[in-house]
A and B are shown apart, each in its own frame.
Chain A
Amino acid sequence: AQTVTQSQPEMSVQEAETVTLSCTYDTSENNYYLFWYKQPPSRQMILVIRQEAYKQQNATENRFSVNFQKAAKSFSLKISDSQLGDTAMYFCAFRTSGSRLTFGEGTQLTVNP
């Protein structure tokens, strides 16, 4: 079975600082895909960033970047220059070809002014 673990239920950061959210996963597959979703208080689920396991280069989207360590099965999210609007629940998710998406339990991030 595939599992996704987010070991930090809650985190906080000061505005303009950098924060890293951790995610580990377990799979025997070699080809798979990883995602970070954000769920603000409005409860919408918004895709933040995605990474294909066959790509060695870490994905980046503006202030969001990942540190993908395939051997360690780790997929952390780094948020630079944190903004108040980044306050949300962040979910790490994982999928192999032909399978459904598996979500972690989430990390509640609070950005403080």
Chain B
Amino acid sequence: DGGITQSPKYLFRKEGQNVTLSCEQNLNHDAMYWYRQDPGQGLRLIYYSQIVNDFQKGDIAEGYSVSREKKESFPLTVTSAQKNPTAFYLCASSIWAYLSSNQPQHFGDGTRLSIL
């Protein structure tokens, strides 16, 4: 079945440590997105990518980094510069937005990141 796989489901970070969240999709989507969700709140965009080897900052990119070396993969690294990383992280993908803006984003099951 086609879909988006996020791993791990739960992740713990120590002080000063970088951690990487994985996101893989087999939907052949061009665009991929990373969101952060804090308890009881909406989704805030961290980074997005519309094509391989290209990505743009979202609203809260500071303390995060991404790469897009393959169409299927869009890993997110939470760096030690992100002082409040505890949150639920959602990855999404869609057909390229400009051509098909009525197409929805498909979401993974999320990764919950906590500080040790």
Contact = CB atoms under 8 A, between A and B. Distances in A.
Q: Chain B contact residues (Cβ within 8 angstroms of A): what range?
A: 20 to 34
Interface residues of A, number: 24
B6 to A, nearest CB: 11
B55 interface: no
A45 interface: yes
Contacts, number: 50
Chain B interface main SS type: loop
B1 to A, nearest CB: 14
Contacts of A46: 107
B88 A45 contact: no
28 contacts: A33-B102, A35-B104, A42-B109, A43-B110, A44-B107, A45-B90, A45-B105, A45-B107, A46-B107, A47-B104, A50-B104, A52-B102, A91-B42, A91-B43, A95-B97, A96-B101, A97-B97, A97-B98, A97-B101, A98-B97, A98-B101, A100-B48, A100-B58, A101-B33, A101-B105, A105-B42, A106-B42, A108-B40
Interface of B: 33, 40-43, 45, 48, 58, 88, 90, 92, 97-98, 101-102, 104-105, 107, 109-110
